[in-house]
A = this chain, B = another copy of it.
Amino acid sequence: MIGKLIEGLRATGRRLTRTRRAVLRVLEGNQYPLSASELYERLQKEKVSIDLVTVYRTLTVLKELGFVSQLELHHEGQFRYEIRQGRKHHHHIRCQGCGRIVDLLLCPLKKLTSLIEKETQFVVNEHTLEFGGLCPKCQ
Contacts and interface: CB of A to CB of B under 8 A. Distances in A.
A136 B79 CA distance: 30
A54 B125 CA distance: 37
B120 A93 contact: yes
B108 A122 contact: no
Given A72-B74, A104-B116, A112-B108, A93 B124 contact: yes
Copies of this chain:
2
Interface in A60-96: 72, 74-75, 93, 95-96
Size category of the binding interface on chain A? 20 to 34
Contacts of A104: 116, 119-120
A128 to B, nearest CB: 5
A15 B75 CA distance: 28
Contacts of A106: 112
A127 B135 contact: no
A67 to B, nearest CB: 20
A124 B120 contact: no
Instruction: Pick the 7 closest A-B CB pairs, nearest first.
Output: A124-B133, A122-B133, A126-B132, A121-B136, A127-B131, A123-B134, A125-B133
